[in-house]
Amino acid sequence: MNQETNVKKKRNRGNRSSSTNTNFSYEKFASNSATVSGIKSTGVTSISESRLKGMLQDPAKNAVAVASLSKGMKQVNGMYKNVIRYFSSLLTFDHLIYPIMEDPLAFAEDPKEMQLAFAQTAIFLERLSPKSNLPIFAEKIFSNGVTYLYKLEDSKSVAYMELPLSMCRISYSEEGVYRYQIDISKLTEATVLAYPKEIQSAYASAKNGSSDKLVEGKWYQISDKGVAFTMDVDALTQGGVGVPPLANALLDAIKVENAKANMENTSKLDNTKIVHSKIETDEKGRPLMELPVAMEYHNALKRNLPEGSVAITNPFDTKGITLNGTGKDGKFALLDKAVENLYDGVGVSKMVFAGDGASSQALERSIQVDCQWLYGFLLPMFQSYYNYELKKSGKKGTVWKSKFLSVSYFDRDDAIKTSKDQLTYGGSRMEYLAYTGMTPIEVANMLIFEQRVLGIDEFMVAKKNSHTMGGEESDEVGAPKSDNPTDTTVRIKDAE
Protein backbone atom coordinates (compact mmCIF):
# COMPACT_ATOMS: atom_id res chain seq x y z
CA MET A 1 0.00 0.00 0.00
CA ASN A 2 2.76 2.37 0.87
CA GLN A 3 4.49 1.46 -2.35
CA GLU A 4 1.38 2.39 -4.41
CA THR A 5 1.08 5.66 -2.51
CA ASN A 6 4.67 6.57 -3.24
CA VAL A 7 4.18 5.82 -6.94
CA LYS A 8 1.09 8.11 -7.06
CA LYS A 9 2.99 10.90 -5.30
CA LYS A 10 5.83 10.62 -7.81
CA ARG A 11 3.34 10.70 -10.70
CA ASN A 12 1.61 13.78 -9.24
CA ARG A 13 4.96 15.51 -8.77
CA GLY A 14 5.87 14.58 -12.35
CA ASN A 15 2.55 15.94 -13.65
CA ARG A 16 2.99 19.15 -11.70
CA SER A 17 6.57 19.46 -12.99
CA SER A 18 5.41 18.83 -16.54
CA SER A 19 2.64 21.37 -16.14
CA THR A 20 5.08 23.89 -14.69
CA ASN A 21 7.53 23.37 -17.56
CA THR A 22 4.73 23.73 -20.07
CA ASN A 23 3.50 26.93 -18.51
CA PHE A 24 7.05 28.27 -18.41
CA SER A 25 7.52 27.40 -22.07
CA TYR A 26 4.29 29.19 -22.99
CA GLU A 27 5.37 32.22 -20.97
CA LYS A 28 8.66 32.32 -22.85
CA PHE A 29 6.81 31.93 -26.14
CA ALA A 30 4.43 34.73 -25.19
CA SER A 31 7.26 37.10 -24.41
CA ASN A 32 8.67 36.64 -27.91
CA SER A 33 5.47 36.17 -29.85
CA ALA A 34 5.38 39.72 -31.29
CA THR A 35 8.20 40.21 -33.79
CA VAL A 36 8.86 43.38 -35.79
CA SER A 37 10.60 42.83 -39.13
CA GLY A 38 12.73 45.55 -40.70
CA ILE A 39 12.31 48.49 -38.28
CA LYS A 40 15.45 49.75 -36.59
CA SER A 41 16.07 52.93 -34.68
CA THR A 42 19.66 54.15 -34.85
CA GLY A 43 21.10 57.54 -33.97
CA VAL A 44 23.31 59.38 -36.44
CA THR A 45 25.11 61.35 -33.75
CA SER A 46 27.52 59.86 -31.27
CA ILE A 47 27.43 62.79 -28.86
CA SER A 48 24.61 64.27 -26.83
CA GLU A 49 23.64 67.93 -26.80
CA SER A 50 24.42 68.31 -23.11
CA ARG A 51 27.90 66.87 -23.56
CA LEU A 52 28.60 69.18 -26.51
CA LYS A 53 27.51 72.18 -24.44
CA GLY A 54 30.01 71.19 -21.77
CA MET A 55 32.76 70.81 -24.36
CA LEU A 56 32.11 74.25 -25.82
CA GLN A 57 32.36 75.79 -22.37
CA ASP A 58 35.93 74.51 -22.04
CA PRO A 59 37.53 74.95 -25.49
CA ALA A 60 41.08 74.68 -24.13
CA LYS A 61 40.53 70.97 -23.44
CA ASN A 62 37.99 70.07 -26.10
CA ALA A 63 38.93 72.12 -29.19
CA VAL A 64 40.25 69.08 -31.08
CA ALA A 65 37.15 67.01 -30.27
CA VAL A 66 34.84 69.86 -31.34
CA ALA A 67 36.78 70.22 -34.60
CA SER A 68 36.44 66.49 -35.24
CA LEU A 69 32.69 66.69 -34.63
CA SER A 70 32.46 69.69 -36.96
CA LYS A 71 34.23 67.84 -39.77
CA GLY A 72 32.04 64.81 -39.26
CA MET A 73 28.85 66.88 -39.17
CA LYS A 74 29.86 68.54 -42.43
CA GLN A 75 29.76 65.13 -44.09
CA VAL A 76 26.29 64.11 -42.88
CA ASN A 77 24.39 67.39 -42.54
CA GLY A 78 23.89 69.22 -45.83
CA MET A 79 22.75 72.48 -44.20
CA TYR A 80 25.84 72.74 -42.00
CA LYS A 81 28.09 71.97 -44.98
CA ASN A 82 26.34 74.53 -47.19
CA VAL A 83 26.72 77.26 -44.57
CA ILE A 84 30.46 76.54 -44.33
CA ARG A 85 30.86 76.60 -48.11
CA TYR A 86 28.79 79.79 -48.27
CA PHE A 87 31.03 81.68 -45.85
CA SER A 88 34.32 80.33 -47.25
CA SER A 89 33.46 81.18 -50.87
CA LEU A 90 31.56 84.42 -50.29
CA LEU A 91 34.49 86.82 -50.84
CA THR A 92 36.27 87.28 -54.16
CA PHE A 93 39.66 87.90 -52.48
CA ASP A 94 40.47 90.47 -55.18
CA HIS A 95 43.63 92.38 -54.31
CA LEU A 96 46.29 94.77 -55.50
CA ILE A 97 49.82 95.76 -54.44
CA TYR A 98 51.39 99.17 -53.93
CA PRO A 99 54.80 100.45 -52.74
CA ILE A 100 55.55 102.28 -49.49
CA MET A 101 57.71 105.27 -50.53
CA GLU A 102 58.92 108.19 -48.46
CA ASP A 103 59.08 110.33 -51.62
CA PRO A 104 56.66 109.02 -54.27
CA LEU A 105 57.87 111.66 -56.76
CA ALA A 106 61.44 110.38 -56.64
CA PHE A 107 60.66 107.81 -59.32
CA ALA A 108 58.50 110.07 -61.48
CA GLU A 109 61.24 111.03 -63.95
CA ASP A 110 62.79 107.55 -64.20
CA PRO A 111 60.12 104.96 -63.34
CA LYS A 112 61.90 101.95 -64.90
CA GLU A 113 63.31 100.73 -61.60
CA MET A 114 59.92 100.91 -59.92
CA GLN A 115 58.22 99.27 -62.92
CA LEU A 116 60.61 96.34 -62.64
CA ALA A 117 60.07 96.09 -58.88
CA PHE A 118 56.30 96.09 -59.38
CA ALA A 119 56.53 93.25 -61.91
CA GLN A 120 58.82 91.19 -59.66
CA THR A 121 56.59 91.71 -56.64
CA ALA A 122 53.53 90.74 -58.67
CA ILE A 123 55.29 87.52 -59.73
CA PHE A 124 56.20 86.72 -56.12
CA LEU A 125 52.63 87.28 -54.90
CA GLU A 126 51.29 85.15 -57.74
CA ARG A 127 53.45 82.27 -56.54
CA LEU A 128 51.63 82.43 -53.20
CA SER A 129 48.32 82.04 -55.13
CA PRO A 130 46.04 83.97 -52.75
CA LYS A 131 42.93 83.72 -54.92
CA SER A 132 43.33 79.95 -55.17
CA ASN A 133 44.42 79.21 -51.62
CA LEU A 134 42.34 81.61 -49.52
CA PRO A 135 38.94 79.94 -50.17
CA ILE A 136 40.55 76.64 -49.08
CA PHE A 137 42.08 78.23 -45.98
CA ALA A 138 38.74 79.84 -45.14
CA GLU A 139 36.88 76.53 -45.36
CA LYS A 140 39.43 74.90 -43.05
CA ILE A 141 38.95 77.73 -40.56
CA PHE A 142 35.18 77.29 -40.56
CA SER A 143 35.45 73.50 -40.36
CA ASN A 144 38.27 73.10 -37.82
CA GLY A 145 38.47 76.42 -36.01
CA VAL A 146 42.23 76.65 -36.66
CA THR A 147 44.42 75.59 -39.55
CA TYR A 148 48.19 75.16 -39.08
CA LEU A 149 50.10 75.56 -42.34
CA TYR A 150 53.76 75.17 -43.27
CA LYS A 151 55.06 76.89 -46.40
CA LEU A 152 57.13 74.72 -48.73
CA GLU A 153 58.80 76.53 -51.61
CA ASP A 154 61.46 76.23 -54.25
CA SER A 155 62.56 78.47 -57.09
CA LYS A 156 59.40 77.75 -59.09
CA SER A 157 56.44 77.27 -56.80
CA VAL A 158 54.99 77.45 -53.29
CA ALA A 159 52.88 74.83 -51.53
CA TYR A 160 51.30 74.66 -48.08
CA MET A 161 51.33 71.58 -45.85
CA GLU A 162 48.67 71.30 -43.16
CA LEU A 163 49.76 69.93 -39.78
CA PRO A 164 47.43 67.98 -37.42
CA LEU A 165 45.30 69.94 -34.98
CA SER A 166 46.11 67.54 -32.15
CA MET A 167 49.84 68.32 -32.35
CA CYS A 168 49.88 72.11 -32.62
CA ARG A 169 48.99 75.22 -30.65
CA ILE A 170 49.19 78.94 -31.39
CA SER A 171 52.06 80.55 -29.46
CA TYR A 172 52.04 84.26 -30.37
CA SER A 173 51.01 86.89 -32.90
CA GLU A 174 53.55 88.81 -34.96
CA GLU A 175 52.43 91.81 -37.05
CA GLY A 176 48.93 90.37 -37.13
CA VAL A 177 50.17 86.89 -38.10
CA TYR A 178 49.65 83.88 -35.81
CA ARG A 179 52.67 81.62 -35.23
CA TYR A 180 52.47 78.16 -33.68
CA GLN A 181 54.34 75.33 -31.94
CA ILE A 182 54.30 71.57 -32.55
CA ASP A 183 54.43 68.82 -29.93
CA ILE A 184 57.58 66.85 -30.79
CA SER A 185 56.73 64.11 -28.28
CA LYS A 186 53.84 62.93 -30.46
CA LEU A 187 56.18 62.12 -33.37
CA THR A 188 57.85 58.78 -33.99
CA GLU A 189 60.74 57.59 -36.12
CA ALA A 190 58.27 56.55 -38.81
CA THR A 191 55.86 59.50 -38.79
CA VAL A 192 58.48 62.27 -38.59
CA LEU A 193 59.65 61.45 -42.12
CA ALA A 194 56.40 62.91 -43.49
CA TYR A 195 57.13 66.33 -41.96
CA PRO A 196 59.34 69.20 -43.22
CA LYS A 197 63.09 69.08 -42.59
CA GLU A 198 62.86 71.75 -39.90
CA ILE A 199 60.64 69.51 -37.80
CA GLN A 200 62.77 66.46 -38.54
CA SER A 201 65.84 68.30 -37.24
CA ALA A 202 64.00 69.39 -34.10
CA TYR A 203 62.88 65.80 -33.49
CA ALA A 204 66.44 64.48 -33.99
CA SER A 205 67.84 67.05 -31.55
CA ALA A 206 65.25 66.16 -28.92
CA LYS A 207 65.97 62.47 -29.45
CA ASN A 208 69.66 63.10 -28.80
CA GLY A 209 68.89 64.79 -25.51
CA SER A 210 69.09 68.41 -26.63
CA SER A 211 65.81 70.04 -25.59
CA ASP A 212 67.00 73.59 -24.97
CA LYS A 213 64.82 74.94 -27.78
CA LEU A 214 61.71 73.13 -26.57
CA VAL A 215 59.02 74.77 -24.45
CA GLU A 216 57.89 72.61 -21.53
CA GLY A 217 60.24 69.93 -22.85
CA LYS A 218 58.13 69.08 -25.90
CA TRP A 219 56.83 72.14 -27.79
CA TYR A 220 59.00 73.27 -30.72
CA GLN A 221 58.47 76.79 -32.09
CA ILE A 222 58.03 76.68 -35.88
CA SER A 223 59.89 79.35 -37.87
CA ASP A 224 58.09 82.02 -39.91
CA LYS A 225 57.48 79.36 -42.57
CA GLY A 226 54.61 78.28 -40.37
CA VAL A 227 51.39 80.28 -40.13
CA ALA A 228 48.14 79.65 -38.29
CA PHE A 229 44.77 81.06 -39.25
CA THR A 230 41.79 81.31 -36.91
CA MET A 231 38.81 83.60 -36.35
CA ASP A 232 38.67 82.76 -32.65
CA VAL A 233 39.93 85.97 -31.05
CA ASP A 234 40.37 84.14 -27.72
CA ALA A 235 42.77 81.55 -29.12
CA LEU A 236 45.83 82.90 -27.30
CA THR A 237 44.03 82.99 -23.94
CA GLN A 238 42.61 79.46 -24.13
CA GLY A 239 45.74 77.41 -24.59
CA GLY A 240 46.54 78.39 -28.17
CA VAL A 241 43.56 76.57 -29.66
CA GLY A 242 40.34 77.76 -31.23
CA VAL A 243 36.91 76.38 -31.98
CA PRO A 244 35.05 76.66 -35.30
CA PRO A 245 33.28 80.01 -35.77
CA LEU A 246 29.97 78.16 -36.18
CA ALA A 247 30.50 75.75 -33.29
CA ASN A 248 27.25 76.84 -31.64
CA ALA A 249 25.41 75.67 -34.76
CA LEU A 250 26.58 72.11 -34.07
CA LEU A 251 23.96 71.91 -31.31
CA ASP A 252 21.22 72.75 -33.77
CA ALA A 253 22.73 70.42 -36.39
CA ILE A 254 22.51 67.54 -33.89
CA LYS A 255 18.85 68.40 -33.27
CA VAL A 256 18.21 68.40 -37.01
CA GLU A 257 19.81 64.97 -37.41
CA ASN A 258 17.82 63.58 -34.48
CA ALA A 259 14.62 65.03 -35.93
CA LYS A 260 15.43 63.48 -39.31
CA ALA A 261 15.99 60.12 -37.63
CA ASN A 262 12.57 60.42 -35.98
CA MET A 263 11.10 61.27 -39.37
CA GLU A 264 12.50 58.05 -40.80
CA ASN A 265 10.92 56.07 -37.96
CA THR A 266 7.61 57.83 -38.61
CA SER A 267 7.80 56.91 -42.28
CA LYS A 268 8.33 53.27 -41.34
CA LEU A 269 5.43 53.37 -38.91
CA ASP A 270 3.17 54.58 -41.72
CA ASN A 271 3.87 51.35 -43.62
CA THR A 272 3.78 48.97 -40.63
CA LYS A 273 1.23 46.12 -40.71
CA ILE A 274 0.20 43.86 -37.82
CA VAL A 275 -0.72 40.24 -38.65
CA HIS A 276 -2.40 38.34 -35.80
CA SER A 277 -2.71 34.55 -35.40
CA LYS A 278 -5.12 33.41 -32.65
CA ILE A 279 -4.50 30.20 -30.67
CA GLU A 280 -7.69 28.38 -29.61
CA THR A 281 -8.14 27.82 -25.86
CA ASP A 282 -10.43 25.73 -23.63
CA GLU A 283 -12.98 27.05 -21.13
CA LYS A 284 -10.19 27.73 -18.63
CA GLY A 285 -8.11 29.71 -21.14
CA ARG A 286 -5.52 26.99 -21.64
CA PRO A 287 -4.12 26.62 -25.22
CA LEU A 288 -5.54 23.61 -27.06
CA MET A 289 -2.60 23.51 -29.46
CA GLU A 290 0.72 22.05 -28.40
CA LEU A 291 3.52 24.55 -27.98
CA PRO A 292 5.85 23.09 -30.68
CA VAL A 293 3.02 23.25 -33.22
CA ALA A 294 2.17 26.85 -32.25
CA MET A 295 5.84 27.77 -32.58
CA GLU A 296 6.00 26.30 -36.08
CA TYR A 297 2.94 28.28 -37.21
CA HIS A 298 4.34 31.47 -35.69
CA ASN A 299 7.77 31.05 -37.30
CA ALA A 300 6.26 30.18 -40.66
CA LEU A 301 4.18 33.37 -40.56
CA LYS A 302 7.17 35.48 -39.48
CA ARG A 303 9.38 34.14 -42.28
CA ASN A 304 6.90 35.08 -44.98
CA LEU A 305 5.98 38.57 -43.83
CA PRO A 306 7.37 41.56 -45.77
CA GLU A 307 9.71 44.09 -44.16
CA GLY A 308 8.02 46.40 -41.68
CA SER A 309 5.37 43.84 -40.65
CA VAL A 310 4.62 42.62 -37.12
CA ALA A 311 3.72 38.98 -36.40
CA ILE A 312 1.66 38.31 -33.25
CA THR A 313 0.54 34.89 -31.99
CA ASN A 314 -1.58 34.75 -28.81
CA PRO A 315 -4.96 33.51 -27.53
CA PHE A 316 -6.60 36.95 -27.44
CA ASP A 317 -8.91 38.79 -29.80
CA THR A 318 -6.62 41.46 -31.25
CA LYS A 319 -8.06 44.48 -33.02
CA GLY A 320 -6.26 45.95 -36.04
CA ILE A 321 -4.98 49.44 -35.30
CA THR A 322 -3.54 51.54 -38.13
CA LEU A 323 -0.21 53.25 -37.39
CA ASN A 324 -0.40 55.55 -40.37
CA GLY A 325 0.29 59.15 -39.35
CA THR A 326 1.25 58.28 -35.75
CA GLY A 327 3.06 61.32 -34.36
CA LYS A 328 3.79 62.67 -37.84
CA ASP A 329 2.63 66.24 -37.29
CA GLY A 330 4.71 66.66 -34.17
CA LYS A 331 7.83 65.24 -35.78
CA PHE A 332 7.44 67.43 -38.88
CA ALA A 333 7.08 70.47 -36.64
CA LEU A 334 10.14 69.42 -34.65
CA LEU A 335 12.24 69.11 -37.82
CA ASP A 336 11.07 72.47 -39.17
CA LYS A 337 11.86 74.16 -35.86
CA ALA A 338 15.29 72.54 -35.69
CA VAL A 339 16.13 73.73 -39.21
CA GLU A 340 14.93 77.23 -38.37
CA ASN A 341 17.08 77.29 -35.22
CA LEU A 342 20.12 76.17 -37.20
CA TYR A 343 19.91 79.09 -39.62
CA ASP A 344 19.11 81.50 -36.80
CA GLY A 345 22.14 80.24 -34.90
CA VAL A 346 24.58 80.93 -37.73
CA GLY A 347 22.86 84.20 -38.65
CA VAL A 348 22.22 83.25 -42.27
CA SER A 349 18.94 83.80 -44.10
CA LYS A 350 17.19 80.64 -45.29
CA MET A 351 16.60 82.40 -48.60
CA VAL A 352 20.30 82.02 -49.40
CA PHE A 353 19.64 78.31 -49.82
CA ALA A 354 16.22 78.68 -51.48
CA GLY A 355 14.40 78.57 -48.15
CA ASP A 356 11.65 80.72 -46.77
CA GLY A 357 12.27 84.34 -45.95
CA ALA A 358 10.61 87.68 -45.53
CA SER A 359 11.71 89.44 -48.70
CA SER A 360 14.54 89.93 -51.14
CA GLN A 361 15.49 93.08 -49.24
CA ALA A 362 15.89 91.04 -46.06
CA LEU A 363 18.05 88.57 -47.97
CA GLU A 364 20.25 91.37 -49.29
CA ARG A 365 20.68 92.82 -45.82
CA SER A 366 21.53 89.37 -44.41
CA ILE A 367 24.30 88.91 -47.00
CA GLN A 368 25.65 92.37 -46.22
CA VAL A 369 25.89 91.47 -42.53
CA ASP A 370 27.66 88.21 -43.38
CA CYS A 371 30.14 90.05 -45.60
CA GLN A 372 30.78 92.68 -42.94
CA TRP A 373 31.78 89.94 -40.50
CA LEU A 374 34.27 88.52 -42.99
CA TYR A 375 35.56 91.99 -43.93
CA GLY A 376 36.26 92.75 -40.29
CA PHE A 377 37.91 89.49 -39.17
CA LEU A 378 38.87 87.17 -42.03
CA LEU A 379 40.18 89.59 -44.66
CA PRO A 380 42.55 91.58 -42.36
CA MET A 381 44.10 88.33 -41.10
CA PHE A 382 44.91 87.14 -44.62
CA GLN A 383 46.12 90.60 -45.63
CA SER A 384 48.51 90.74 -42.66
CA TYR A 385 50.05 87.42 -43.68
CA TYR A 386 50.68 88.47 -47.27
CA ASN A 387 52.06 91.83 -46.16
CA TYR A 388 54.53 89.97 -43.95
CA GLU A 389 55.59 87.79 -46.88
CA LEU A 390 55.98 90.84 -49.14
CA LYS A 391 58.02 92.62 -46.48
CA LYS A 392 60.30 89.62 -46.06
CA SER A 393 60.83 89.24 -49.80
CA GLY A 394 61.59 92.95 -50.25
CA LYS A 395 64.78 92.72 -48.17
CA LYS A 396 66.50 96.14 -48.37
CA GLY A 397 64.52 97.41 -51.33
CA THR A 398 61.17 99.15 -51.46
CA VAL A 399 58.54 97.65 -49.17
CA TRP A 400 55.37 96.53 -50.93
CA LYS A 401 52.00 95.99 -49.38
CA SER A 402 48.86 94.18 -50.48
CA LYS A 403 45.33 95.47 -50.25
CA PHE A 404 42.45 93.01 -50.24
CA LEU A 405 39.25 94.65 -51.38
CA SER A 406 36.06 94.42 -49.36
CA VAL A 407 33.96 92.85 -52.09
CA SER A 408 31.92 89.67 -52.45
CA TYR A 409 30.45 87.85 -55.44
CA PHE A 410 27.04 89.27 -54.55
CA ASP A 411 28.05 92.94 -54.73
CA ARG A 412 30.91 92.83 -57.25
CA ASP A 413 28.92 94.57 -59.99
CA ASP A 414 28.03 97.45 -57.68
CA ALA A 415 31.66 97.71 -56.54
CA ILE A 416 32.88 97.86 -60.15
CA LYS A 417 30.34 100.54 -60.98
CA THR A 418 31.31 102.62 -57.95
CA SER A 419 35.02 102.29 -58.71
CA LYS A 420 34.38 103.22 -62.35
CA ASP A 421 32.50 106.34 -61.31
CA GLN A 422 35.41 107.34 -59.06
CA LEU A 423 37.76 107.29 -62.05
CA THR A 424 36.18 110.51 -63.27
CA TYR A 425 37.33 112.15 -60.03
CA GLY A 426 40.86 110.77 -60.18
CA GLY A 427 40.26 107.36 -58.57
CA SER A 428 42.75 104.48 -58.70
CA ARG A 429 42.98 102.59 -61.99
CA MET A 430 44.64 99.66 -60.26
CA GLU A 431 41.82 99.44 -57.75
CA TYR A 432 39.29 99.49 -60.57
CA LEU A 433 41.13 96.68 -62.35
CA ALA A 434 41.30 94.70 -59.10
CA TYR A 435 37.54 95.03 -58.65
CA THR A 436 37.08 93.53 -62.11
CA GLY A 437 39.03 90.47 -60.94
CA MET A 438 42.46 91.18 -62.40
CA THR A 439 45.45 90.20 -60.25
CA PRO A 440 48.65 92.31 -60.02
CA ILE A 441 50.47 89.91 -62.36
CA GLU A 442 47.73 90.35 -64.95
CA VAL A 443 47.90 94.12 -64.62
CA ALA A 444 51.69 94.07 -64.95
CA ASN A 445 51.76 91.86 -68.02
CA MET A 446 48.41 91.58 -69.75
CA LEU A 447 47.81 95.27 -70.42
CA ILE A 448 51.38 95.95 -71.59
CA PHE A 449 51.34 92.84 -73.74
CA GLU A 450 48.07 93.88 -75.37
CA GLN A 451 49.05 97.49 -76.02
CA ARG A 452 52.79 97.33 -76.67
CA VAL A 453 53.27 93.86 -78.20
CA LEU A 454 50.00 92.98 -79.90
CA GLY A 455 48.97 96.55 -80.63
CA ILE A 456 45.48 95.29 -80.05
CA ASP A 457 43.85 98.72 -80.46
CA GLU A 458 44.89 98.73 -84.12
CA PHE A 459 42.79 95.65 -84.73
CA MET A 460 39.92 96.23 -82.34
CA VAL A 461 38.69 99.58 -83.66
CA ALA A 462 35.48 100.83 -82.11
CA LYS A 463 32.55 100.99 -84.50
CA LYS A 464 31.16 104.42 -85.24
CA ASN A 465 27.90 105.37 -83.60
CA SER A 466 25.93 108.47 -82.73
CA HIS A 467 28.33 109.25 -79.89
CA THR A 468 31.53 109.09 -81.98
CA MET A 469 30.48 110.29 -85.44
CA GLY A 470 30.16 113.92 -86.53
CA GLY A 471 29.10 115.69 -89.69
CA GLU A 472 31.40 115.89 -92.70
CA GLU A 473 31.65 119.67 -92.53
CA SER A 474 32.25 120.03 -88.80
CA ASP A 475 33.96 118.35 -85.87
CA GLU A 476 30.83 118.31 -83.77
CA VAL A 477 29.94 115.05 -82.09
CA GLY A 478 26.53 113.68 -82.97
CA ALA A 479 24.58 111.77 -85.54
CA PRO A 480 25.40 112.52 -89.21
CA LYS A 481 23.05 114.74 -91.13
CA SER A 482 20.36 112.95 -93.08
CA ASP A 483 19.99 113.47 -96.83
CA ASN A 484 16.20 113.56 -96.40
CA PRO A 485 15.44 115.33 -93.09
CA THR A 486 11.91 115.37 -91.75
CA ASP A 487 9.83 118.55 -91.65
CA THR A 488 10.29 118.72 -87.87
CA THR A 489 14.07 118.56 -88.23
CA VAL A 490 14.02 121.33 -90.83
CA ARG A 491 11.92 123.61 -88.61
CA ILE A 492 14.24 123.07 -85.63
CA LYS A 493 17.30 123.76 -87.79
CA ASP A 494 15.74 126.95 -89.17
CA ALA A 495 14.86 128.12 -85.66
CA GLU A 496 18.55 127.76 -84.66
Within a domain: residue 225?
no
Within a domain: residue 377?
no
Least confident of 156-165, 203-212, 348-357, 461-470: 348-357
CA dist., res. 89 & res. 36, Å (int):
48
SS3 state of residue 482: coil
More confident residue, 160 or 496: 160
Same domain, 297 and 329: yes
The per-residue pLDDT for range 38-90, each reduced to its tens digit, is 444 333 356 777 888 889 899 999 999 999 999 998 988 888 898 899 999 99
Least confident of 246-260, 405-419, 477-491: 477-491
Residue 316 is predicted with a pLDDT of 59
Res. 28: pLDDT tops 70: no
Using alpha carbons, select from 96, 94, 91, 88 the residue that is nearest to residue 390. Answer: 96
Same domain, 283 and 260: yes
What number of H helices and E strands is found in the chain?
Answer: 16, 12
Same domain, 1 and 35: no
Average pLDDT of the chain, as a whole number: 80
Same domain, 4 and 37: no
Q: What would the mean pLDDT of 386-390 be, rounded to a whole number?
A: 96
Same domain, 317 and 282: yes
The per-residue pLDDT for range 468-496, each reduced to its tens digit, is 555 554 455 555 666 667 766 666 666 65
Tally of structural domains, the chain:
3
CA dist., res. 94 & res. 440, Å (int):
10
Same domain, 296 and 323: yes
CA 102 to chain centre: 44
Kindly state the percentage of the chain with pLDDT values over 90: 43
Within a domain: residue 190?
no
Residue 76 is predicted with a pLDDT of 85
Within a domain: residue 285?
yes
Same domain, 305 and 323: yes
Same domain, 35 and 15: no
Q: What would the mean pLDDT of 409-430 be, rounded to a whole number?
A: 93
Most confident of 97-111, 134-148, 286-300, 470-484: 134-148
Within a domain: residue 14?
yes
Please state, as a whole number, how many other Cβ atoms lie within 10 Å of the Cβ of residue 202. Answer: 23
Within a domain: residue 26?
yes
Give yes or no for a contact between 226 and 323, defined as CB atoms under 8 angstroms apart.
no
Within a domain: residue 338?
yes
Within a domain: residue 37?
yes
Res. 429: pLDDT tops 80: yes
CA dist., res. 418 & res. 423, Å (int):
9
Res. 347: pLDDT tops 90: no
SS3 state of residue 275: strand
Residue 39 is predicted with a pLDDT of 43
Q: Give the residue from 344, 360, 388 where a domain finishes.
A: 344
Using alpha carbons, select from 301, 270, 265, 267 the residue that is nearest to residue 34. Answer: 301
Q: What would the mean pLDDT of 274-299 be, rounded to a whole number?
A: 75
CA dist., res. 49 & res. 144, Å (int):
19
Least confident of 166-175, 295-304, 472-481: 472-481
Same domain, 9 and 38: no
Q: What range does the domain containing 275 cover?
A: 31-42+252-344
DSSP 455: -
CA dist., res. 226 & res. 168, Å (int):
11
Confidence of residue 303 (pLDDT cuts 50, 70, 90): confident
Q: Give the residue from 299, 329, 344 where a domain finishes.
A: 344
